């Protein structure tokens, strides 16, 4: 039985590669139930016949077998967070067998995963732990074929007063993930970087060759984590891809980030919006695009040992973003500078604008919410979510969240 499953899984991926597009139907089901056949009998018979009669070399079978193997069980760290919860949902909906690593707490809260549809939650294998604990990380990773590592402390202002925790969580936590992945023979590790590691752009658009500048303890800790991830590829051949998303926004994002800060204040009825600097520019990405990037990095066979930018290639200032949000929410608003929200001068990243050609070239990834029009669409979806009183209730719009 096991023999048939293994072969069928590989075969299904192979059929996908031959443009039969059976993978979404077949691979996940077979993958989830490693020792149980859950595909209908006619599908199983077709797969068995295809396995016997179609010459394997013609479709590059050996290469696809590798990809199918690591799709079986996936661990996601930071699954309870903003991007992680969307990614977890997308992977479960695609039929992956997902173990969600959530930050342990005595409330038994799974963060945003508590708000995921029932159909997703019931298919989740949840592990509550702490990324700083090597034994917990190793236990969570047992039997997993791939790891998507998103757990991190990510707020820049919080990193100003508690940098120690950033080293423990982002650097030591990443080391724990890499060490466990190496020891357990994990077949693909997607490590999450950030565009903050570039600091203020020295040239635009920013390619992966741009120098790294740790302008905040957060950025410095991510540079350390990225370099550790690369070192495990270079030193031990650990199959690592370093995904580097630019600013991501969308439903569920913490109000420590600028777009939810603006939207929650507007949704709360405020017309004078408190903000820090409005001149810096950013390359914003709707969360669905970022999630698609992670999935491309997980399922593609390219990108090992590479850093890959996931950005929209559209640059806009914070000030113009405010105007766009006012437009999509049909409100007249005024910006008021709040000194407490300004970053120290040399720490402010003045300009971020992604060159995303490497993601296209290696993973066939492109943003679907790109350009001004795409940004407007993403902002509309985001604002609609925040305007739901049940969602808005989770935010303290009258306070500065760091």
Ligand X SMILES: NC(=O)c1ccc[n+]([C@@H]2O[C@H](COP(=O)([O-])OP(=O)(O)OC[C@H]3O[C@@H](n4cnc5c(N)ncnc54)[C@H](O)[C@@H]3O)[C@@H](O)[C@H]2O)c1
Q: Which residues bind ligand X (CB under 6 A)?
A: 78, 80-84, 103, 111, 130-132, 150-154, 169, 192, 194, 245, 247-248, 254
73 or 172: whose CB is closer to ligand X?
A: 172
CB of 284 to ligand X, least distance (A): 8
E strand or H helix that includes residue 327: helix 318-328
Residues 279, 320 contacting (CB under 8 angstroms)? no
CB of 254 to ligand X, least distance (A): 6
Query: What are residue 133's phi and psi, to 5 degrees?
Result: -105, 110
Query: Beta strands of 121-168 (E only): which ranges?
Result: 125-129, 146-149
CB of 7 to ligand X, least distance (A): 36
Closest CA to 147 of 93, 193, 99: 99
287 or 383: whose CB is closer to ligand X?
A: 287
Under DSSP, the state recorded for 171 is: I
Closest CA to 73 of 97, 46, 103, 37: 97
> What residue number has its CB nearest to ligand X?
81
14 or 365: whose CB is closer to ligand X?
A: 365
Q: Which residues contact 306 (CB under 8 A, 6 or more apart)?
A: 208, 241, 242, 358, 362
Strand 146-149 to 73-77 pairing: parallel
- Residue in the structure block whose two tokens are 């992680």: 84
CB of 48 to ligand X, least distance (A): 42
82 or 353: whose CB is closer to ligand X?
A: 82
Under DSSP, the state recorded for 22 is: -
Strand 272-275 to 240-245 pairing: unpaired
78 or 378: whose CB is closer to ligand X?
A: 78
CB of 140 to ligand X, least distance (A): 10
Query: What are residue 115's phi and psi, to 5 degrees?
Result: -100, 5
11 or 85: whose CB is closer to ligand X?
A: 85
68 or 177: whose CB is closer to ligand X?
A: 177
Q: Report the DSSP beta bridge partners of residue 74.
A: 98, 146
CB of 253 to ligand X, least distance (A): 6
CB of 178 to ligand X, least distance (A): 14
């Amino acid at each position: 039985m096991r023999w048939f499953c293994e072969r069928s899984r590989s075969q299904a991926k192979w059929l996908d590669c031959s443009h039969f597009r059976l993978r979404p139907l077949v691979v996940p089901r077979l993958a989830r139930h490693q020792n149980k056949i859950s595909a209908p009998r006619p599908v199983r018979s077709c797969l068995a016949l295809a396995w016997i009669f179609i010459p394997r070399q013609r479709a590059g079978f050996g290469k696809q077998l590798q990809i199918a193997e690591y799709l079986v069980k996936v661990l996601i760290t930071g699954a309870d967070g903003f991007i992680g919860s969307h990614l977890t949902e997308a992977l479960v909906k695609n039929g992956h067998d997902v173990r969600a690593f959530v930050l342990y707490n005595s409330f038994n809260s799974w963060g945003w995963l508590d708000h995921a549809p029932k159909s997703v939650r019931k298919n989740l294998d949840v592990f509550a732990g702490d990324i700083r604990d090597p034994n917990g990380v190793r236990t969570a990773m047992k039997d997993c074929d791939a790891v998507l590592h998103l757990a991190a402390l990510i707020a820049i202002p919080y990193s100003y007063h508690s940098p120690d925790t950033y080293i423990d969580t982002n650097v030591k936590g990443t080391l724990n993930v890499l060490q466990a992945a190496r020891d357990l023979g994990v077949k693909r590790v997607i490590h999450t970087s950030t565009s903050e590691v570039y600091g203020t752009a020295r040239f635009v658009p920013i390619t992966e060759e741009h120098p790294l500048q740790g302008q905040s303890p957060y950025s410095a800790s991510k540079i350390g984590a990225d370099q550790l991830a690369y070192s495990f590829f270079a030193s031990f051949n650990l199959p690592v891809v370093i995904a580097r998303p630019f600013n991501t926004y969308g439903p569920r994002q913490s109000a420590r980030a600028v777009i939810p800060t603006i939207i929650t204040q507007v949704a709360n009825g405020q017309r004078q919006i408190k903000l820090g600097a409005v001149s810096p520019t950013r390359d914003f990405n709707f969360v669905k695009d970022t999630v698609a990037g992670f999935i491309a990095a997980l399922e593609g066979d390219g990108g090992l040992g590479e850093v890959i930018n996931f950005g929209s290639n559209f640059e806009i200032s914070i000030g113009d973003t405010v105007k766009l949000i006012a437009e999509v929410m049909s409100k007249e608003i005024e910006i008021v500078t709040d000194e407490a929200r300004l970053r120290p001068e040399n720490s402010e990243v003045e300009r971020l604008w992604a060159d995303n050609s490497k993601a296209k070239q290696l993973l066939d990834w492109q943003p679907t919410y790109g350009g001004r029009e795409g940004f407007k669409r993403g902002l509309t979806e985001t604002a609609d979510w925040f305007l739901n009183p049940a969602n808005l209730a989770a935010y303290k719009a009258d306070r500065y969240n760091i």
